[in-house]
Amino acid sequence: MDGERAGPTPDRGGNPTRVVVEQQRSRWGTRLAWVIAGVATLVALSSLAANARYFQRDAPLAESWHSLSRTAPAKVAIVDVAGAIMGGEGFATAQLAQVRRDAEVKAIVLRIDSPGGTVSGSDEIHDRLRRLLADRDLPVVVSMGGIAASGGYYVAMANAGREDVIFAEPATLTGSIGVIIPHFDVSRLLERFDIADDSITSGPLKEMLSPTKTRTPELADRERAVLQALVDDMFARFKSIVKAGRPKLDDAALDRVATGQVFTAGQALEAGLVDRIGFLDEAIDRAVELAGLTPQTARVVRYQRPRSFVEDLLGTSIPTARGQMETFAELTTPRAWYLCSWWPALVASGR
């Protein structure tokens, strides 16, 4: 039987031979041990990465050479604004802080590839950039990528009204000057399942934009009037920002383009929303010129987000549970948007 040791048996020569039969070990036990060890390792690495990010929040961004002279002390910094613009301390804000600390930066190329984002997030980046340019007297040249619309165009207006500084690539989509507060009403759908929103509030307007609340016609009209007033006020600010960035646009010309419409690069050039059609390298050349530099005396640099040791080891970013909850809260919070999208509530943060 398995696990029992047989006694000696004689072989053909008469010599005793010992035969041992061992019980076969279960492979499932070994596999389970490896699975448990792997899961424990992943959990430990995730925790280590989260802690590394926590303790390195103020770490400087990595700077890399992009073009022109590799050894020139004077720098032209490319600042990227990519993806949806949300509120808070994001990558664009960190880049502007890095430029502020670096006295060798003599000009900025603002590289925008964004459909916009929240009203507050777009306004925050615009204000930070405007104050930086005023404090350091830095020229800024805008280079638009695939899309620089709504809040992306709003950020581009932080150019102090300077002429010949906004470049759009031939395939760029821009414009979309306007405001949207998304609202979806699923209350009638819930009624089919005999579900009612019975939330307790301090007043009838506390549940504005709730997708599950059944409203009387009078309350619905009252809410819409309040929200429309908010949109009108934010829209007026958007137009004032565009007027400051594009002073040659008179009121009539601004009203013609501030309809929420998206424009091609050619249409934007004709309407006065951009100055030139050109790529990033041409925007860099213009920034070098405005800074009083030459290709031999200017070093163009770009920034990268800092990564933890574990993220470098794994070759990818590790999302934390807290970060996922913050993103969920951002996306489900009713808010106004400078955004070129038909469904703002599902746009993830790229700022």
- What is the token pair recorded at 254? 């601004």
Q: Which residues contact 68 (CB under 8 A, 6 or more apart)?
A: 76, 284, 288, 295, 296, 298, 299, 300
Please identify which of the residues 114, 122, 143, 150 carries the catalytic annotation: 150
- Assign residue 152 the CATH number of its domain: 3.90.226.10
Q: Is residue 226 part of a domain?
A: no
Q: Is residue 275 part of a domain?
A: yes
Tell whether the model's pLDDT for residue 30 goes beyond 80. Answer: no
The predicted pLDDT at position 89 comes to: 72
Tell whether the model's pLDDT for residue 29 goes beyond 80. Answer: no
Q: Is residue 82 part of a domain?
A: yes
Query: Would you call 150 a catalytic residue per the annotation?
Result: yes
Q: Is residue 339 part of a domain?
A: yes
Q: Is residue 11 part of a domain?
A: no
Q: What is the pLDDT of residues 198-250, one digit of tens each?
A: 899 999 899 888 889 899 999 999 999 999 999 999 999 999 999 999 999 99
Please identify which of the residues 47, 199, 206, 240 carries the catalytic annotation: 206
Q: Is residue 176 part of a domain?
A: yes
180: which strand partners? 337
Query: Would you call 248 a catalytic residue per the annotation?
Result: no
Mean pLDDT of the region 343-351: 45
Q: What is the pLDDT of residues 105-161, one digit of tens each?
A: 999 999 999 999 999 999 999 999 999 999 999 999 999 999 999 999 999 999 888
User: Rounded to two decimals, what is the model's pTM?
Assistant: 0.75
SS (H, E, C) the chain: CCCCECCCEECCCCCEECCECCCCCCHHHHHHHHHHHHHHHHHHHHHHHHHHHHHCCCCCCEEEEEEECCCCCCEEEEEEEECEECCCCCHHHHHHHHHHHCCCEEEEEEEEEECEEEHHHHHHHHHHHHHHHHHHCCCEEEEEEEEEECHHHHHHCCCCCCCCCEEECCCCEEECCCCECCCCCCHHHHHHCCCCCCCCCCCCCCCCCCCCCCCCHHHHHHHHHHHHHHHHHHHHHHHHHHHHHCCCCCHHHHHHHCCCCEEEHHHHHHHCCCCEECCHHHHHHHHHHHCCCCCCCCEEEEEECCCCHHHHHHCCCCCCHHHHHHHHHHHHCCCCEEECCCCHHHCCECC
Number of domains the chain is built from: 1
Q: Is residue 172 part of a domain?
A: yes
* Average pLDDT across the chain, whole number: 82
Range of the domain at 76: 60-183+248-346
The predicted pLDDT at position 281 comes to: 98
Tell whether the model's pLDDT for residue 181 goes beyond 80. Answer: yes
Q: Is residue 145 part of a domain?
A: yes
